[in-house]
Each structure stands twice: as C-alpha cells, then as structure tokens.
C-alpha cells in the first residue's frame, strides 16, 4: 500500500517544497516510504517461505518439485496476467497520449517509469520477465517498474534453499554437483544489487525458525518486546528513508528480528483481522498491477501538469488510489485467489509416485 501511495503521489502532486506546513511534511514523508516497504516484503517473504523451507531441509522432508510448483504457481498466476495487462495499458496509453511519458519524457518528473530509452516491450523482454530475468539479462517490461523486485524474490527462492541443500549434504554426490554448478552460475550471473535483499530474505527465514523455538517464545510474547517492536518499525522506516540506500541491510535485519514478535501478538479485533487478511491476500496483485494503470490515467489526463496539495489534488489522488485498489481486486478475483487450485492442478499432473508427496486440499496460501 505504501508503494502505491508513493507512486500515485509522484503522478499527481508537485515535488515537496519546504514551508508547506507540518501536515504536508508528514504526507510527503509517509508517501515516500515505498522502498522501505519493499524491504519489509523481502523480510516477510523469507519468514513465510524461507523459514518452512529451512525446517524441511533440516528434518529431511524437503522436496524440490512441490516447492518449485508452489513458488511458480504463486508467482506466475499474478505475474503473467500483470504483464499482459501492462502491454494493454501501455499500448492504449501511448496511443491516446501521443507517446508522451511512455517515451521517457516524464522520467525526471516522476523519478520512475520509462527511461530515456522508452518502453522495453519486445517479445524477448516479455519472455525474460516471465522467466524472472528482469534486471538480470533484460529490462523490466513496459512501464511496470515495480516488476524489478519480482526477479529478486524468485532468485532468493532458488539460491538460498539450494545453498542450504548443498551444504547439508542431503542429496547424492552427482546431484550435489549439479547444485554446486547452479550456485556458481547464479553467483556469476545475478547482479550484485541482489545481495542486500538476499541477506534480508535469509534473516527473515532465520527469524521464522527462531519463532518455532519454545525456549524463545516467552521473549517474543513479552510486553517489552512488543512495545519495542511497535516503536522500532516506524522509527526504523523513517531512519532508513533519511539515510537512503545505505540503510537497506540494517533496516531489513531490524524488520526480520521483529517478525516473531509481530506473529506472537494477540489479535486486535475480528474486523481488523478480516480487513488486514484480505488486503494481505491481494497485496501481491496490487503491487504488480498498479503502476501501468496509474501511468495510463496520468499520461492521458494529467501530466505534465501536477497539482498542489489542495482539495483538488487530494481528491484526484484519492480517486487514483481507489481505482488502483478496485482494479487490483478484480485482477485478484480473476487470478490470484485461485493460486491453491492451480498448485493442486499442477501437482496432480506430476508423477505422484516419484514425488511421494501428499498435497492437502485446504493448504493455506503463503506469501
């Protein structure tokens, strides 16, 4: 949600200028925390995906095929429709706006979106994004800049469990050799920019393992730990924002350390739980679909003009965000909510005798 708020602000409002008042300062600060929200997502992904994977590796119950099937069904059921919708919005948006914005002319104004080279919308780039090679061997497809983090996410899914699988000596020597070669290839080919996020993802995974330790449970449930965690998150986000890129690692580690405490906190209310769970369910779709929609509306009807922080500006901003949420909900309803069904469908068509893996019908969807 913070990512959407930040992108919508960049499309609608003029840059922040001193002297606008405390409320304006707080608004620009709060809507400027999108990057920190992505770091939080990496830590949470490690907690929800990496933690169970580590436990299964340790206890010898890890199986690659169901793991990969789960991860790909989770990613592709959102990513492929998002890429196709990006193509549609970019095509119509460029046609209606005369190409303005899609040619990179608003990049400096927005600090995002297509660069000077314009849209990278070739079939090769599309396929590369489907295979999670954006920022590795191909650029992000079209105007959908937020897709960059999906490549990080996928390769964390692959690299870190592979490294643990090889180091624990679970497989036969020949298979381990293949794993070592795969690790070496990833080390050579993956960008150095992936490293910090990888450590954050791993920290989240370790935090998930720690959360299962009964000896640590009283610590995670202690009121002092809860109070410290509640205060540390917003303070850490603001500090990370002010310190910029150099803060990603320590902020990610801070978030990961607090995840077991958040997980052990009592429920606030039933209504809050229902709302937060539904928002969490559609957050991945929202993240991957919002930018091309905002780009379309803004280039066709708004840019290059931007608005002051006024009643008109706030109304326009609220309408754009509402449109992004409604659109994301529709895409979620059509695709992402069927993730478990697609996973079971894929698993049912694999050799059950080879996998020797049961698939619970009511398995809950993870991150």
The pTM is what?
0.89
Find the mean pLDDT for residues 83-102. 93
The pLDDT, as a whole number, for residue 184 is 94
pLDDT over 70 (residue 352): no
**Residues 248-277: pLDDT tens digits?**
999 999 999 999 999 998 887 788 788 888
Find the mean pLDDT for residues 188-210. 95
pLDDT over 90 (residue 319): yes
Distances (CA, A) of 87 to 61, 76, 93, 120, 207: 41, 16, 10, 10, 39
Residue 18: CB atoms within 10 A of its CB come to 6
Cβ neighbours for 112, distance < 8 A, ≥ 6 positions apart:
7, 10, 145, 291
Residue 214: CB atoms within 10 A of its CB come to 6
Phi-psi region of 190 (alpha: psi -120 to 50; beta: other; left: phi over 0): beta
Core vs surface per residue 258-291: b (16+ CB within 10 A) or e: bbbbbebeeeeeeeeeeeeeeeeebbbbbbbbbb
Contact 90, 119 (CB under 8 A): yes
CA distance 50 to 251: 19
Taken in order 32, 329, 140, 36, the sign of the CA dihedral is: positive
The pLDDT, as a whole number, for residue 110 is 76
pLDDT over 60 (residue 247): yes
The pLDDT, as a whole number, for residue 367 is 54
pLDDT over 50 (residue 303): yes
**Residues 132-148: pLDDT tens digits?**
999 999 999 999 999 99
The pLDDT, as a whole number, for residue 302 is 87
Residue 223: CB atoms within 10 A of its CB come to 7
Least confident window among 145-154, 207-216, 269-278: 269-278
CA 138 to chain CA centroid, Å, is: 19
CA distance 275 to 335: 20
Contact 66, 359 (CB under 8 A): yes
**Helix residue ranges per DSSP H, the chain:** 2-12, 22-30, 34-45, 51-59, 64-97, 107-110, 123-130, 148-167, 173-189, 194-211, 217-220, 223-243, 248-264, 270-301, 311-334, 339-348, 352-355
The pLDDT, as a whole number, for residue 255 is 97
> By C-alpha distance, which of 275, 291, 273, 284 is closest to 339?
284
| Of 105 and 123, the one with more pLDDT | 123
CA 314 to chain CA centroid, Å, is: 27
Domain boundaries along the sequence of the chain: 2-355
pLDDT over 50 (residue 57): yes
pLDDT over 60 (residue 358): no
The pLDDT, as a whole number, for residue 364 is 46
pLDDT over 50 (residue 353): no
Model confidence at 366, pLDDT cuts 50, 70, 90, reads low
């Amino acid at each position: 949600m913070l990512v959407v708020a930040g992108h919508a602000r960049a499309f609608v409002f003029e840059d922040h200028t001193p002297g606008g008042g405390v409320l304006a300062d707080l608004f620009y600060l709060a809507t400027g925390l999108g990057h920190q929200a992505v770091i939080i997502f990496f830590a949470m992904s490690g907690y929800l995906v990496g933690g169970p994977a580590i436990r299964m590796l340790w206890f010898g119950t890890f199986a690659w095929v169901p793991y990969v099937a789960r991860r790909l069904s989770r990613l592709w059921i959102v990513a492929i429709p998002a890429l196709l919708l990006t193509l549609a919005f970019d095509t119509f948006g460029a046609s209606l706006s005369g190409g303005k914005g899609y040619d990179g002319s608003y990049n400096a104004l927005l600090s995002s979106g297509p660069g000077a080279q314009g849209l990278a919308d070739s079939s090769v780039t599309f396929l590369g994004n489907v295979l999670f090679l954006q920022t590795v061997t191909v650029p992000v497809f079209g105007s959908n800049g937020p897709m960059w983090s999906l490549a990080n996410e996928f390769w964390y899914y692959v690299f870190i469990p592979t490294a643990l699988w090889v180091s624990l000596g679970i497989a036969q020597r020949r298979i381990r050799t293949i794993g070592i070669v795969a690790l070496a290839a990833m080390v050579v080919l993956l960008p150095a920019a992936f490293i910090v996020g990888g450590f954050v993802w791993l920290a989240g995974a370790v935090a998930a393992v720690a959360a299962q330790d009964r000896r640590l449970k009283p610590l995670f449930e202690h009121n002092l730990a809860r109070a410290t965690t509640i205060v540390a998150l917003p303070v850490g986000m603001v500090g990370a924002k002010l310190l910029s890129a150099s803060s990603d690692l320590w902020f990610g580690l801070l978030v990961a350390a607090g995840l077991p405490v958040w997980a052990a906190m009592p429920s606030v209310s039933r209504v809050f739980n229902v709302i937060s769970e539904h928002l969490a369910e559609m957050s991945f779709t929202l993240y991957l679909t919002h930018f091309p929609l905002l780009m379309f509306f803004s280039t066709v009807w708004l840019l290059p003009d931007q608005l002051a922080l006024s009643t008109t500006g706030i109304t326009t901003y609220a309408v754009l965000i509402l449109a992004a949420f409604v659109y994301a909900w529709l895409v979620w309803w059509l695709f992402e909510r069927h993730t478990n069904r697609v996973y079971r469908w894929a698993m049912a068509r694999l050799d059950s005798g080879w996998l020797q893996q049961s698939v619970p019908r009511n398995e809950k969807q993870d991150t």
